[in-house]
Chain A
Amino acid sequence: MVLDEATGLTRAAAPLCQLENDLGQHENPAVGSPGELAMSRVLLIEDDRQTADEIVAELVDRGFQVEWAATGIEGLDKARIGDADVMIVDRLLPGIDGLTIIEVVRQEHIRTPVLVLSALGAVDDRVRGLRAGGDDYLTKPFAILELIARIEALLRRPSENRDTMLRVGPLELDLISRTAKRGDRPIDLLPREFRLLEYMMRRKDQLLTRAMLFEEVWSYKFVPQSNLVDVHMGRLRRKVDGSDEQPMIHSVRGEGFVLRAPA
């Protein structure tokens, strides 16, 4: 499940991971809906062959079209064509540095969303990656599902609509009056719960990992050791999903959460 260049974990992890995904579609309907995102083009700029192979295999399995560039120069050439829907750029590359590629591409007004990968975990480095024009940042080693979830999130970035009312199935969120209701049942939310629900409703049907939620909803840069996100999510779920209602907030075991309209 975890990609780690230094160890042989990749080899062992990949088939298991694959197994879960092949069989997991029915049980975990939340994880990606390939139909919608299929044929999205991903440009992967990564110099480590093993890591790249694993990522490519995983993405291809999920129906993405993947192009792989192994050096900074090759990557920059491909990125400048600008026909990818999302780019995954390693921070440290031979030839041209990953951040330089992003800066050049942004200067040429190519708005393709970029996920920066790095073995450097420094908070500073993360900030630098985002400042250079990256849209998200992931530290190695990472869980492959975390990578997929983030790529899907980048591909389905909520449009900048000015709607003051969010709707997912029977769930309604009024951003002006700060109220929520499910059907006719009003839901009483604390401010932090409101923020969480808003974030999830804007990204319905997407897998939201704990790290993503923690970074985006709470905007904290560290990952707490306790099951903080789970507890907060538990609260929200008890309010959103009544005992006699069909659940809308689903947890994906070990990975994160998905909000979807009841079938």
Chain B
Amino acid sequence: MVKGSFSVRLPEFARTTTFRWTLAISGAFTLCVILMFVFVLGEEYSYLSSDVDRLNSENARLVTAETKENRVRRLNEYLQNDPRRVKLGGLFDSDGNRIAGNIENLPATLQTDSSPTDVSLIRVDAFGRDRQLARTIAHRLDDRSILVVGRNVQQFTWIVGVVRRALTLGLIPALCLGLMAGALLSVRGQKRIDAVNRKVQRIVDGELRERLPTRGTNDPFDKLAVLVNGMLDEIESLVRRLAGVGDDIAHDLRTPLTRVRVSLERARQKAGSLDELRASVDKAIVGLDQSLAIITALLRIAEIEHSRQVYGFRDVALADLVREVGDLYEPIAEDKKVDFAVKAKEDATVHGDRDLLFEAVANLVDNAVKFTPQGGHVELSLLRKGNEAVVRVCDSGPGIPIGESDLVMRRFYRSDKSRCDPGLGLGLSLVNAIVKLHGFDFRISSGPGCVAEIAGRSADA
């Protein structure tokens, strides 16, 4: 709560929000308790006063009602029998001289025939002479003498004292306890945050294996830590995968580039004629083009993965798209002597980018045709499953080994079975990126051969 230069000197825990809140709540609590006591005291005081006033006026009436001669006796009777020394009474003549009673003299502040007042009186009796605070009334009688009746209300002060002691004994420890709890909580919180801070610093420094400390309790802090740790797991695996991709890229680029180098080197030494030189240069260009194609494909995947733009999406009729892809690949399948069937009897419409979807389907067919041996078959079909539109590409190729279906979607993954086949190993990760951008499902399963499906919510369902 202290601002400015002072706050610098406060201990660490006192500067935490937790501690400040504890302080504020303790203050409010104390104020409430004090207000409550004040209220109770006030009520108690007015109750007791009215009680005393009633007693006083009753006794005054009894004395007044007596004949002039009997009043002194009556008063003395009343004043007797007072072990607690609370009863006060006095009869004074019109000049204020004491006639009877235990009040030494008529207090100057006391007014006759007015409402009861608290007055300080001097009590004189067999036990001695002492000053007492009394609730008092005074009446002027018919013979001009003055009757004073009062009752010691020292007990009120005593009650106030008790309350004060109660407050001191109750509130101060409570307050201290509150402050201590606040300090403790903030220190504990501070400690956890410090621990987290140290871990985070290590993670920032590259120690991706580090995790935030958890205690196995179910408090919000722990839940948060668990959440962040989950995120870190994902990041770690992504980074590892990326690092793996980096290695793969290096490898896949190095292969064609090495061929280029060798080809050029040989040509420089061995080429005897211009034709030989040109043949070598042609080979080199092919190798460079391959490397460039890899880079282009990678950039393209990154572009799709990073694009959040879906504003170009519109309704795409899949039957047309499937037939077009079929049309595009039919000659290639035929050249390779692979039986190629396109089945799109029902139409289905999805919301998406036609060019990208075309590219995805074309890639699947490209893959299927590439990996299906001569004499095999590839089928491209459009199906409807409930309100899902499914484009399915089946082939009779070697299929994907169980457990590799996730891997094939990663960049550069190429099943060992197909290492020798040409291809960039980027096709399926491109398809995956496109499908993800659309929020569709991409499933690969191994029947006999390979079954790849792109499933999207049908826009006309």
List of B residues within 8 angstroms of A254 by Cβ: 282, 285-286
* Contact A20:B278 (CB < 8 A) given known A121-B299, A121-B303: yes
Query: Chain A's nearest CB lies how many Å from the CB of B363?
Result: 8
B285, B327, B331, B366: the one contacting A225 at CB < 8 Å is B366
Measured in the bound complex, the distance between the Cα atoms of B355 and A123 in whole Å is: 10
A19 at the interface (CB under 8 A from B): yes
A226 at the interface (CB under 8 A from B): yes
Q: Which residue of A lies closest to B359 (CB)?
A: A222
Interface string of A221-234 (1 = CB under 8 A from B): 11111111001101
A2 at the interface (CB under 8 A from B): yes
List of B residues within 8 angstroms of A227 by Cβ: 332
Contacting pair A121 B366 (CB below 8 A):
no
Count of A-B residue pairs with CB < 8 Å: 70
- Size of the chain B interface, CB-CB below 8 angstroms: 34
Query: Chain B's nearest CB lies how many Å from the CB of A233?
Result: 10
Contacting pair B303 A122 (CB below 8 A):
yes
B residues 326-380 touching A (CB-CB < 8 Å): 327-329, 331-332, 335, 355, 358-359, 362, 366, 369-370
Query: Chain B's nearest CB lies how many Å from the CB of A141?
Result: 6
Which among B281, B293, B309 has the highest number of chain A CB atoms within 10 Å?
Answer: B281
Query: Chain A's nearest CB lies how many Å from the CB of B254?
Result: 15
Contacting pair A141 B332 (CB below 8 A):
no
Query: Chain A's nearest CB lies how many Å from the CB of B302?
Result: 10
Query: Chain B's nearest CB lies how many Å from the CB of A91?
Result: 15
A245 at the interface (CB under 8 A from B): no
List of A residues within 8 angstroms of B309 by Cβ: 124
Q: Which residue of A lies closest to B427 (CB)?
A: A225
Measured in the bound complex, the distance between the Cα atoms of B282 and A23 in whole Å is: 14
Contacting pair A1 B288 (CB below 8 A):
yes
B296 at the interface (CB under 8 A from A): yes
Q: Which residue of B lies closest to A193 (CB)?
A: B331
Contacting pair A231 B332 (CB below 8 A):
yes
Query: Chain A's nearest CB lies how many Å from the CB of B66?
Result: 115
Query: Chain A's nearest CB lies how many Å from the CB of B186?
Result: 51
B423 at the interface (CB under 8 A from A): yes
B300 at the interface (CB under 8 A from A): yes
Interface string of A129-166 (1 = CB under 8 A from B): 00000000001010100000000000000000000000
A141, A192, A231: the one contacting B292 at CB < 8 Å is A141
Measured in the bound complex, the distance between the Cα atoms of B424 and A87 in whole Å is: 35
List of B residues within 8 angstroms of A49 by Cβ: none
Size category of the binding interface on chain A? 20 to 34
Q: Which residue of A lies closest to B288 (CB)?
A: A2
List of A residues within 8 angstroms of B285 by Cβ: 1-2, 254
List of B residues within 8 angstroms of A234 by Cβ: 331, 335
List of A residues within 8 angstroms of B369 by Cβ: 226
B residues 268-311 touching A (CB-CB < 8 Å): 274, 277-278, 281-282, 285-286, 288-289, 292-293, 296-297, 299-300, 303, 307, 309
Query: Chain A's nearest CB lies how many Å from the CB of B337?
Result: 13
* Contact A20:B328 (CB < 8 A) given known A121-B303, A226-B370: no
Q: Which residue of A lies closest to B267 (CB)?
A: A16
A residues 240-263 touching B (CB-CB < 8 Å): 253-254
B274, B300, B331: the one contacting A23 at CB < 8 Å is B274
Interface string of A110-129 (1 = CB under 8 A from B): 00000000000111100000
Measured in the bound complex, the distance between the Cα atoms of B288 and A16 in whole Å is: 14
List of A residues within 8 angstroms of B297 by Cβ: 225
Chain B contact residues, CB within 8 Å of chain A: 274, 277-278, 281-282, 285-286, 288-289, 292-293, 296-297, 299-300, 303, 307, 309, 327-329, 331-332, 335, 355, 358-359, 362, 366, 369-370, 423-424, 427
Q: Jot down 16 A-B pairs with beta carbons below 8 A, ordered by A.
A: A1-B285, A2-B288, A2-B289, A23-B274, A123-B355, A143-B289, A192-B328, A220-B358, A221-B359, A222-B300, A222-B359, A223-B296, A224-B366, A225-B424, A228-B332, A254-B282
